[in-house]
């Protein structure tokens, strides 16, 4: 059977990788948004872009929360033994 420490570490690493991807996508999104604003797009596209940015922000916060929760469980299991 798979060890709980290995599984917890793997899941925490995956969450931190996901967080890095979310932050990269967020940065790329805002750089492309600046280019869109320079071209003078309409308000509807700006509203759509802001909704997408809000989704990316929520995913980033969720990734940090899950990763910290997994690491906390891992630390508790380590010190409990």
**Which pLDDT tens digit goes with each residue over 64-79?**
777 778 777 777 777 7
Q: For residue 40, is it within any domain?
A: yes
User: How many structural domains does the chain have?
Assistant: 1
Q: For residue 14, is it within any domain?
A: yes
Q: Which domain holds residue 14?
A: 4-75
Q: For residue 52, is it within any domain?
A: yes
Q: For residue 42, is it within any domain?
A: yes
Q: For residue 80, is it within any domain?
A: no
- Are 33 and 49 in contact by the 8 Å Cβ rule? The answer is yes
Taking only the tens place, the pLDDT of each residue in 9-41 is 777 777 777 777 777 777 766 666 665 555 555
- The whole-model pTM stands at 0.48
Q: For residue 81, is it within any domain?
A: no
CA angle (24, 58, 55) in 5-degree steps: 75
Helix (H, G, I), strand (E, B) or coil at 40: coil
| pLDDT for residue 42 | 57
**In angstroms, rounded to a whole number, what is the distance separating the alpha carbons of residues 51 and 54?**
5
């Amino acid at each position: 059977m798979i060890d709980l420490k290995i599984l917890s570490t793997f899941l925490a690493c995956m969450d931190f990788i996901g967080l890095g991807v979310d932050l990269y996508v967020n940065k790329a999104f805002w750089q492309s948004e600046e280019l869109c604003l320079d071209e003078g797009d309409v308000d509807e596209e700006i509203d759509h872009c802001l909704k997408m940015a809000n989704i990316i922000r929520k995913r980033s916060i969720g990734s940090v929360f899950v990763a910290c929760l997994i690491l906390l469980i891992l630390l508790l299991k380590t010190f409990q033994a």
